[in-house]
Chains A and B, each alone.
Chain A
Amino acid sequence: MSNLSELEANIPALRRYAWALLRNWSDADDLVQDCLVRALGRIDARISPGNMRAWLFTIMHNLYVSRWRRMKTRNEVMVEDADADLATPASQAAHIEMREALRGLAMLPEEQRQVLLLTTVERLEYSEVADILGIPVGTVMSRLSRARDRLRDFMEGRERPVLRRVK
């Protein structure tokens, strides 16, 4: 696969991760576009072929930290209701579970959410996640543990603090 087609193949995953962080398509796509422009500027200078996926996630994470997070903490980002976009699956019960999982995800502290997404959804290895986030592997593991236990508590009804009424 050429560099560019490999880059292209990663766009859906980048969008998914960006959306899960920002919960808003227009901001997520702006972030991904930023990431792609940055990546295109450096793709020829990439010395080792390595894992492009992890490389792209690193670029996006750095952009997110340096430019986007402060906007988000200032609440300038409008959060879309996940339900609006959630494709209705076969069974109603499964639909409710998925909706709850997205709620549980949104409830996690951001640092735990990132680790959970990169490992469990993006299927990256722990060392790659550590590189992307710029933290030691031990920290990845402890955040992952907290994230999974907390999501479990939420899903099993032990922690549902601010349940928003669904229309």
Chain B
Amino acid sequence: MTVDERPIRDDDLHAFVDGLLDSERQKEVRGYLAQHPEAAARVSAWQKDGETLRQALEWQLKKAVPATLNITRLIEGRDIHHRAFLRMAASIAIALMVGTGTGWMMRGPSIPSGISALSLEATAAHRVFATGPRHSTTFDVVDPAQLASWTQQELGRAVTPPDLTGAGYHLVGARLAATEHGPACMFFYSSDRGPRITLFVRPMEGRDMNAPMRAIRMPEAIGYAWARQGLGVSLISTDPMPSLHSLSNRVRDEMDSTT
């Protein structure tokens, strides 16, 4: 080796392993490794471990991509959700106008029904009332007896929002929302970290009186929706939460046991 050769450093050894050196530098590193057995052992272990790791993760590349990650489907879903959301937003606006006495309404065959409608309404209401600056609630102090008589009055049946403190969520408020399918009650839960989640309930009207849990995936929010004995329930979060599914199962089970 000549004195004016650049010294071989860790960075060069890594680049050698990763095949990122030009041929000149590669040759220099080879020469260095020939004279430094310890460095040579280190480099060959890195190469071997890297290869093992690639092999160990190789099967994941070959694993079939699920339909939920199909690009065409995602694009269609996005467009449909956007259109459906706009329709929903419009119908909420209309419902509000009806409520304030403007007195006109519109119904069309394209408006979703059943669990799909419930999902859209829950998402729309969550966006308006649970996120952003409004945070408007009808009840801040949560008294179970009060909520029971309130839901009885609004929905025609008493609904008890489940206690989720075990999962780190506290009931922080409730309010009424207007939907195409009548009044809905929203319950807001909050945790120390992360945004609010919304529990949205309303009676179902004819379709999907009992429906298994279904995932809601929209660009703006995610959640789950289901129906039991004519009561539609949805749990919505703005952020993806790995725990939302198990939390939804818990809500469903607890609500089943109290009704």
> Which A residues are within 8 Å of any B CB, using their own CB?
4, 7-8, 11-13, 15-16, 19-20, 24, 26-27, 29-34, 36-37, 40-41, 63, 67-68, 70-72, 74, 76-77, 82, 85-87, 89, 94, 97-102, 104-105, 116, 119-121, 123, 125-126, 141, 144-145, 148-149, 151-152, 155-156
Question: Does B134 belong to the interface (CB within 8 Å)?
Answer: no
List of A residues within 8 angstroms of B46 by Cβ: 148, 152
- Pair A68/B59 contact, Cβ less than 8 Å: no
**Contact of A32 (CB < 8 Å), options: B42, B62, B69, B241:** B69
B178-210 interface code vs A (CB 8 A; 1 in, 0 out)? 000000000000000110000000000000000
> Which B residues are within 8 Å of any A CB, using their own CB?
10-11, 14-15, 17-18, 20, 42, 45-46, 48-50, 52-57, 59-63, 65-66, 68-69, 71, 74-75, 78, 168, 193-194, 217, 219, 239-243, 245
Given the contacts A71-B242, A152-B45, A101 and B193 also touching, CB distance less than 8 Å = no
- Pair A31/B240 contact, Cβ less than 8 Å: yes
Known: A116-B53, A120-B50. 16 other contacts (CB 8 A): A11-B69, A11-B71, A15-B63, A24-B242, A30-B242, A33-B74, A34-B240, A68-B240, A74-B193, A94-B55, A102-B56, A105-B53, A119-B18, A145-B10, A149-B42, A155-B49
For the complex, give the distance between the alpha carbons of A36 and B69 in Å: 8
Number of A-B contacts (CB under 8 A): 126
For the complex, give the distance between the alpha carbons of A13 and B69 in Å: 13
- Pair B75/A19 contact, Cβ less than 8 Å: no
List of B residues within 8 angstroms of A145 by Cβ: 10, 14
- Pair A12/B240 contact, Cβ less than 8 Å: no
List of B residues within 8 angstroms of A94 by Cβ: 55
**Contact of A148 (CB < 8 Å), options: B14, B69, B240, B243:** B14
Given the contacts A15-B63, A31-B240, A68-B240, A20 and B20 also touching, CB distance less than 8 Å = no
- Pair A141/B11 contact, Cβ less than 8 Å: yes
**Contact of B14 (CB < 8 Å), options: A16, A32, A33, A144:** A144
List of A residues within 8 angstroms of B11 by Cβ: 141
- Pair B60/A148 contact, Cβ less than 8 Å: no
